[in-house]
Structure 1
Amino acid sequence: MENKKTFFDSLQNILGHLSMKVNGNIYINAIKDGMLAYMPFTFIASIFLIISFFPVPQVGEFITMITGVEQAVWQAKLNLVSDSSLGIGGLLVLVSVSRSLAEKMNINVIQVLMTAIVSYMLLTPFTSEESGNVIEVASLGAQSIFIALVISVLVAKIYQFIDSKGLKIKMPAAVPPAVSAPFESIIPSLFVVTFFWIIRLLLDGIFAASALELFNNTLGAPLKMMGGSLFGIIIVKIFSQLLWFFGIHGDSIVGGVMSPIFQVLQDENRAASVAGSIPSNIINQSFWDSFANIGIIGSIISIIIIAKSKRYKEMKKIAGVPYLFNVGEPTLFGIPLMMNVTYFIPFILSNVASILISYGAFALGLVPIPTGLAQVPWTTPLVISGYLVTGSIAGAILQIVCIAAVTLLWLPFVKVADSQLIKEEGTLRDDLSEAAEE
């Protein structure tokens, strides 16, 4: 008898092929690697920004009292870390992505990296002053992440193409590689730099605008609109959860595409907060990390509340504590949630519920929009992260509301699964008793 494919079999097949293509794409992987390399500096900068703009005014007054320095002065000193890390976010991403691409393409890493920096600087707007050309640090910040990614890919591709054609200065075999490699890179790098120099001249002559302005207005704006919209983030999250349901690391797949968008939105909020303005981007990296990912925790809380089966009672012991730090693997694999049709609906929709509740709270002004000052690690416990990223106790309360909502969504499904397990365990006990009697 021929087995018919179910809907879930077909969906798993489609998502599996898509995941293989994405995971095999060196450009998406390089962007993902580059953004991961950039992340530690966002956290480091956040530590100093949290201290500098601590949401409790008395803390600032206390620092002023013990240091004897005016608040504006010591804040400026603390902000140096942010200016030196987030302030050159685009440049940092360019370096990390270029390095990753060069390694994956098996071309000269150092030379590609330096060529990418030169090309990036060629497209960076200059301001003419009496002392010479000046580059505003803001031009190197997170707002230039989009164009940095494009430059990284173009530099690597052009360099690889010229190098593969053998257009390079070949040194005698006796010359050490450390000496010959820079000479061999001269022609490929010359082609790349000339290419970007011509682009710079064309932009200055035709559009009278910098590459950064042109790119962000034509491509960056639609990307931010898509990634920063309620509809966009819901679609992305559903897709991520679908991948997880079939055992594919969903966040890893979507992170390579969405992280640059979320980081740009996050940095815009940071700049507004530092300037004393109110942040405007509801959706950003902090929203994704601290509010959009509240969902599966409802399953383990539901198990803790109502489960009576032996299996789920054991799950309470091993899955509850890790989830305090947002480590969900024990829950995913222990229940299991993946490939478990009983849990398909809450698995896909619980995060959507959290997104809708959170977005509504921010849009209505019930909770301050994430400031962009704090980008906490994903292991930061809920409630704490809500307070830090919004700078308000309302952010922590919002997370509690989301946890309660997703738990209510999971409860009936956990009850059904738990009842089934109790029956199975009862049947197993009866079978074992009969076997023992025989």
Structure 2
Amino acid sequence: MSALNSVQGILEKHVGPVARKMSELKIVKGLMAGMMATMPVTLGVALLSVLAGLPIPPLHGFLDATGLLVCINDVLVVTMNLGALYMCASVSYNYGKVLGERGISSTVAALGVVLLLIPLGHADDGTTYIQTSYLGSNGLFVALIFALIVPASLSFLMKHMALKLPDSVPQFVSDSLSPMFCAIVIFTSAALIKYGMTMTRFGDVFTMINSGVAAPAMTLGSSPLAVILFFLFCNVLFFFGVHPSVLMSVYMPVIGAIGLANTEAFVAGRPLPYLQFTIMFAIGSCDALGMELALLCAKSERYKALSRIALVPAVFNISEPIMFGTPIAMNPYMFIPYILLKPLACLVATIGFYLGLGAALNPTISMPFVVPLPISSFFSGGAGLVAIIAVTILAIAVLFFPFVKIADKAALEEEAAAIAAAKSSEDKGALAEELAGQPV
């Protein structure tokens, strides 16, 4: 315990304050809230994605013959494939709220700037069009950058250049007109940036950022080693009582870009460029069921009660009852299995990837988090992904089993000692009553 206490002291002194300060940053709050708020788009088309991706030839033939398949694919193109557009709107709105801006001026300005910076295409007949490839994975990093820069710029300019209107002016009119001069500065600056980029070897902001920032980040962030280290560090922090949400906020842009790239490739009929990464991330919710299986063998009243309470939540991917009921944090019995949990799960997922069990993965299917893993895995990746999930859960259970037995044995001894102490106390009380009733 002294070693654990020393590590905890170091984390609480150096890592804890940094993590807390980062989680309180306005930019982190806006980014996390904005990225989570795009879930209605992915979940909203989940049913259509499932219908189009089910491996049932008669159903697929019916959808194709009736033209529904073409319609569904069009829906996926303007929802899943335009993720950067939705992300820009959502992040800029939430970040603007965090900065204290009223209305949706931040959102409109950010969307306008991103669309302004997109290189336009010109058809032979003189038609000008927006290239949607810049609104998908190729434009996600640019969209996120300006979804943060524009609201921050607007907030700063509003303090110095806001148009003052009388109180008699309706609020919605005031919110629309007061940022007028600020918007002129923002859009003029964006136009100058676009013009300046045409004089560089990149030609546009998207090419510069994607080649200088996005490509290296995607390469490093999507590697199997990066996934393992990310999960490992998250578990180390959680074990010592530091919530790893700040790490997720840093990694979320990479995860989002990878998801969009897989979706675009799937809709276009190409192989998924980040299939292994996605399969490794798919095992992220196996913790609860794996630990629950290990707890089912417990004999102490403490862990038997915990296993009964945690069973139903674990089926629906809710791990808090086990995490806080065991508990995991600062529990010396659980240190080794909890730290090794994610590397083991990633190893199983990688083996499944090389065996081709995840080849049927459909990245356009996104189901609510609480859908049981066997069901969500079947719809998104067929029987192959279900097999990977099942083996991962069993591997986690096997990993935790010997450590649960040790903790269970200690709990049994504590319960036996408590029963013995209670019995001894009862015996002493009965003896005292008996002696008190005897004549002196």
Q: Same fold (TM over 0.5)?
A: yes
- Identify the residue that residue 45 of structure 1 maps to in structure 2: 45
SS at match of 1:217: helix
Matched residue SS, 1:340: coil
Q: Cα 1:5–1:404, aligned 2, differ >3 Å: closer, same or farther?
A: closer
CA contact under 8 A between 2:117 and 2:190: conserved in structure 1? yes
Larger gyration radius, structure 1 or structure 2 = 2
- In structure 2, relative to structure 1, the CA distance for the partners of 1:94 and 1:285 (3 Å cut) is farther
How far does residue 30 in structure 1 lie from its aligned partner after superposition? 1.0
**Does the 8 Å contact 1:126/1:133 carry over to 2?**
yes
Q: Following TM superposition, by how much is the alpha carbon of 1:296 offset from its aligned partner in structure 2, in angstroms?
A: 4.3
Letter in 1 for 2:18: L
| Equivalent position of 1:419 in the other structure | 409
Amino acid at match of 1:146: F
1:279 aligns with 2:269: no
Report the identity percentage. 25
Within a 5 Å distance, the mapping from 1:244-255 to structure 2 comes to 244-250=238-244, 252-255=245-248
2:319 equivalent to 1:328: yes
Q: 1:238 to 1:109 in 2, by over 3 A?
A: farther
Following superposition of structure 1 onto structure 2, how do residues 32-431 of structure 1 map, counting pairs within 5 Å?
A: 32-61=32-61, 63-64=62-63, 70=65, 73-129=67-123, 130-164=125-159, 166-207=160-201, 209-250=203-244, 252-284=245-277, 287-288=280-281, 290-304=282-296, 306-368=297-359, 370-390=361-381, 392-431=382-421
Q: Tell me, what secondary structure is at the counterpart of 1:18?
A: helix
Residue 196 of structure 1 deviates from its aligned partner by 1.0
Q: CA deviation at 1:185?
A: 0.5
Between the aligned partners of 1:275 and 1:83, the Cα distance in structure 2 is: 10
Q: Tell me the CA shift for residue 283 of structure 1.
A: 4.6
Q: Deviations over 1:151-188 (max 9, x none)?
A: 01111222122222x22332344434333333321111
Instruction: Please report the RMSD computed on the Cα atoms of aligned residues, expressed in angstroms.
Output: 2.2
Deviates more, 1:8-17 or 1:87-96: 8-17
Given that 2:300 and 2:412 are in contact with CA atoms closer than 8 Å, whether structure 1 keeps it comes out as yes
Q: For residues 8 and 168 of structure 1, do their structure 2 counterparts lie closer, same or farther at Cα, with a shift above 3 Å needed?
A: closer
For 2:129, give the aligned amino acid: V
List runs of 5+ in structure 2 lacking aligned partners. 429-440
Using a 3 Å threshold, how does the CA distance of structure 1 residues 417 and 175 change in structure 2: closer, same or farther? same
Structure 2 CA distance for partners of 1:187 and 1:285, relative to 1, 3 Å: farther
Paired position in structure 1 for 2:434: none
Change in 2 beyond 3 A, CA 1:12/1:293:
farther
| In structure 1, C-alpha distance between the alignment counterparts of 2:395 and 2:170, rounded to whole Å | 65
Paired residues of 2:163 and 2:180 also in contact (CA < 8 A)? yes
How far the C-alpha of 1:198 sits from its partner, in A, is 0.8
**CA distance in 1: counterparts of 2:252 and 2:228, whole angstroms:** 15
Go from structure 1 to structure 2 and tell me whether the alpha carbon gap of 1:227 and 1:375 turns closer, same or farther (over 3 Å shift).
farther
Secondary structure, in 3 states, of the residue corresponding to 1:127? strand
Question: How far 1:357 sits from its partner (Å)?
Answer: 1.4
TM-score by length of 2: 0.90
Deviations 1:70-107 (A, max 9, x none): 26x32111123212321321111111111111111112
Q: Deviations over 1:413-437 (max 9, x none)?
A: 1011000000000100110011001
What secondary structure sits across from 1:52 in the alignment? helix
Q: 1:215 to 1:349 in 2, by over 3 A?
A: same
What's the CA shift for 1:208?
5.2
Instruction: Give structure 1 stretches of 5+ with no counterpart.
Output: none
Structure 1 CA distance for aligned equivalents of residues 373 and 166 of structure 2: 61
The answer to which of 319-328 and 334-343 deviates more is 334-343
- State the alpha-carbon separation in 1 of the partners of residues 379 and 38 from structure 2: 20
Q: Judging changes above 3 Å, is the alpha-carbon distance between structure 1 residues 283 and 265 closer, same or farther for their aligned structure 2 residues?
A: farther
Change (3 A) 1:359 1:286: closer
User: 2:21: which partner in 1?
Assistant: 21
Cα offset, 1:278, TM superposition? 2.0
After the TM superposition, which of the residue ranges 51-60 and 363-372 deviates more from structure 2? 363-372
Given the two structures, how large is their TM-score scaled by the length of structure 1?
Answer: 0.91
